[in-house]
DNA sequence: TTTTTGTGTAACCAAAAGGTTTCATGTAAA
DNA sequence: TTTACATGAAACCTTTTGGTTACACAAAAA
């Protein structure tokens, strides 16, 4: 099971949880209540975030409050920093490469000799 | 199948491929030759990167050269930007978009002047 | 021409991801 | 105490991921 910051923020649910607790700690039930899936499923997501160091848990009575520990995002930031020149100098609307359009249009299409079975 | 930039860069193999082709296009065999796993496995990774728009493919004869299209990283950067305060303040590396123009391709991180937060 | 090289893809497989239900346990409330 | 609540975790299931081998085919080389 991969447990790094890149993997952690790859999951949309993880990002949603981080968005929720970024500015105010919430207990686990409060977080789970915002999602369609079960509390257990959300609990597993939170557990992963804790293992990655992106969320810290603070016990208060029988409740456990999750608070964001976003410093670990710097790992991602540092990796991206080396490529910042490739997208910061341009506008922030990325262009779609031709190959992607072809692939999305249909896999049977070839660039040159179009005979494929 | 998730096909977004966050998911794309979550995979260490994907990041390694991007690192390889960031500054020079390489054909698929050349990329696959750098990994332990089979060419087919690497091909699938490249395909995902193409579908995410992070790699573009340019055909030359029977070879297909992969080149990085890192503009899509801005999606990740924009999400992280909102939390920059949580980890940027310790390094004190503020952003100043007006001064970025002299930045060229390269791994050098430049110190910039100006205050954002 | 024939052979080799570079690539695309199908079929298959094991492991991991991501969900569920169920139950155990500690704390708070009645 | 008894009950309700908040959480942790086990057992299980289905789908996705990430790999393999085998093969097809076009382009380059011999």
Strand A55-60 to A63-68 pairing:
antiparallel
Strand C at less than 7 A from CB of A13: yes
Please answer whether residues A21 and A31 qualify as being in contact, where contact means their C-beta atoms are separated by less than 8 angstroms.
yes
Q: Across the interface, do B53 and A9 touch by the CB < 8 Å criterion?
A: no
Residues in chain B, how many? Answer: 117
Q: With a cut of 60, say whether residue B70 has pLDDT above it.
A: yes
Please state whether the predicted TM-score (pTM) of the whole model is above 0.75: yes
Q: Can you give the pLDDT at residue A2? A: 63
Q: What is the average per-residue pLDDT within B15-20?
A: 97
CA–C1' nearest nucleotide, residue B66: C7
Q: Can you give the pLDDT at residue B97? A: 39
User: Rounded distance, CA A89 to CA A81, Å?
Assistant: 13
More confident residue, B30 or B1: B30
Q: Can you give the pLDDT at residue B112? A: 32
> What is the nearest CA distance from B101 to chain A, expressed in angstroms?
6
Q: What is the average per-residue pLDDT within A8-34?
A: 97
Q: Across the interface, do A76 and B72 touch by the CB < 8 Å criterion?
A: no
Token reading at A112: 């040159």
Angle at the Cα of B59 from the Cα atoms of B6 and A111, rounded to 5 degrees: 95
Q: Can you give the pLDDT at residue B18? A: 97
Please answer whether residues A70 and A22 qualify as being in contact, where contact means their C-beta atoms are separated by less than 8 angstroms.
yes
Q: Which nucleotides of C are covered by protein (CB under 7 A)?
A: 5-11, 16-22, 26-28
Question: What values do phi and psi take at B41, rounded to 5?
Answer: -65, -45
* Nearest of B58, B28, B39 to residue A111 by alpha carbon: B58
Q: Can you give the pLDDT at residue A104? A: 37
pLDDT band at A1 (very low <50, low <70, confident <90, very high): low
Please answer whether residues A89 and B101 qualify as being in contact, where contact means their C-beta atoms are separated by less than 8 angstroms.
yes
Query: Partners of B55 in the beta sheet?
Result: B68
B7 → closest Cβ in A10, A74, A96 = A10
Q: Can you give the pLDDT at residue A89? A: 52
Question: In the 3-class helix/strand/coil scheme, how is chain B assigned residue by residue?
Answer: CCCCHHHHHHCHHHHHHHHHHCCCCEEHHHHHCCCCCCHHHHHHHHHHHHHCCCEEEEEECCEEEEEECHHHHHHHHHHHHCCHHHHHHHHCCCCCHHHHHHCCCCCCCCCCCCCCC
Q: Can you give the pLDDT at residue A78? A: 93
Which range of A27-31, A92-96, B1-5 scores highest in mean pLDDT? It is: A27-31
- Residue B15, CA distances (Å) to A12, B7, B9 in order: 19, 11, 6
pLDDT band at B8 (very low <50, low <70, confident <90, very high): very high
Q: What is the pLDDT of residues B22-66, one digit of tens each?
A: 989 999 999 999 999 999 999 999 999 999 999 999 999 999 999
Token reading at A87: 């997208």
* Nearest of A109, A112, A83, A47 to residue B68 by alpha carbon: A83
More confident residue, A33 or B93: A33
Q: What is the pLDDT of residues B85-99, one digit of tens each?
A: 887 654 444 444 333
Q: What is the average per-residue pLDDT within A32-36?
A: 97
């Amino acid at each position: 099971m991969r447990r790094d910051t890149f993997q952690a923020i790859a999951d949309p649910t993880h990002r949603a949880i981080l968005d929720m607790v970024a500015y105010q700690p919430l207990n686990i039930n409060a977080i789970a209540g915002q999602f369609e899936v079960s509390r257990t499923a959300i609990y597993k997501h939170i557990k992963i975030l804790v293992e990655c160091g992106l969320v810290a848990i603070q016990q208060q009575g029988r409740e456990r409050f999750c608070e964001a520990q976003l410093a670990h995002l710097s790992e991602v930031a540092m990796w991206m920093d080396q490529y910042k020149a490739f997208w910061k100098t341009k506008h922030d609307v990325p262009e779609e490469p031709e190959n992607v359009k072809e692939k999305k249009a249909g896999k049977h299409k070839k660039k040159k000799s179009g005979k494929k079975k």
